[in-house]
Amino acid sequence: MDETETSRGGETAVLETERRGAAQWLWLNRPEVLNALSPALLDELDRGLEAAAGDDGVRCVVIAARGRAFCAGADLQHVSGLLAGRNGSEPAPGLRGDQQELLHRVARTFNAIEQFPKPVLGAVQGIAVAGGLELALCCDIVVATESASFGDGHGNFGLVPGGGGSIRLPRRVGHSMAKRLLFTGDRLPARDFLGTDLVSEVTADDALVESVDALAQRIADRSPLVQRLTKRLVNDGVQVPLDVALRMEMHECELHEQSADIQEGVSAFVEKRTPRFVGR
């Protein structure tokens, strides 16, 4: 049975968790501020990811958002609070440490999503800008609506990307497109990113949950062990020379021959039945 729970950060419900089959949905729930990332929301995302990682019944995670936007980036109201007290060119006492802690806080959560041991899907509607774009970049697969748009926007407010935007974006959409987004602050429609590594599918505005849910269930039906190993090989393989990556793949393939899931998969094929993978 699907279940929805509300997690609380401070006094405001900032994240909802919903179990749909073997997929754990994490819903950003600050629609009144376009799901801007606050420390409380980051804390709840961390808790949601930790719970999903430890639950063998969860085969994949979906990051989605309530309201008319996916995520408008860092909460600038919080940032402006850190900036209060600045006098001329000198930061207020403790300001530099506060700013750096917020940046490191965002980076830790985004890195955890990218390195999460199970597939992570992003369900994007409305705008995904600045930190919202960086959050989408950390997902393994992104499905977006027809009306969705992506942009950087840091430069519009005198900011430099701190959540991986200047590093992950060119790797996903190419250097020229990345520089356009970074230099101009433009937002471009989701369809402009089909054919890149940012958006894998564009769906009707009213079909996002249905489309992502179907994709999540197809992923969840596969061996969780294979999904984990494959994700690690893909993520690590693009960082090293081809010959090294191929040796990594062969090594994992040889180790995998001893797993229960490969035995189950082959047996199911021979017996013409649906495999029952256990993840080991």
Domain at 44, CATH number = 3.90.226.10
Residue 160 shares a structural domain with residue 240: no
Residue 9 shares a structural domain with residue 134: yes
Tens digits of per-residue pLDDT, 191-241? 999 999 999 999 999 999 999 999 999 999 998 899 999 999 999 999 899
| Band of pLDDT at residue 190, cut at 50, 70 and 90 | very high
Domain at 254, CATH number = 1.10.12
Residue 78 shares a structural domain with residue 190: yes
Tens digits of per-residue pLDDT, 90-123? 545 444 556 677 888 899 999 999 999 999 999 9
* Beta partners for residue 65, in sequence order: 28
- Total structural domains within the chain: 2
Residue 157 shares a structural domain with residue 266: no
Report if residue 107 sits inside a domain. Answer: yes
Residue 143 shares a structural domain with residue 267: no
- Span 52-69, average pLDDT: 96
Report if residue 144 sits inside a domain. Answer: yes
Report if residue 279 sits inside a domain. Answer: no
Residue 133 shares a structural domain with residue 252: no
Residue 207 shares a structural domain with residue 244: no
Tell me which residue range forms the domain holding 204. Answer: 3-220
Mean pLDDT lowest among 95-99, 124-128, 158-162, 250-254: 95-99
Residue 216 shares a structural domain with residue 228: no
Residue 130 shares a structural domain with residue 229: no
Q: Give me the pLDDT at residue 10, please.
A: 43
Cα distances (angstroms) measured from residue 4 to each of 15, 254, 263: 11, 40, 35
Report if residue 277 sits inside a domain. Answer: no
Report if residue 145 sits inside a domain. Answer: yes
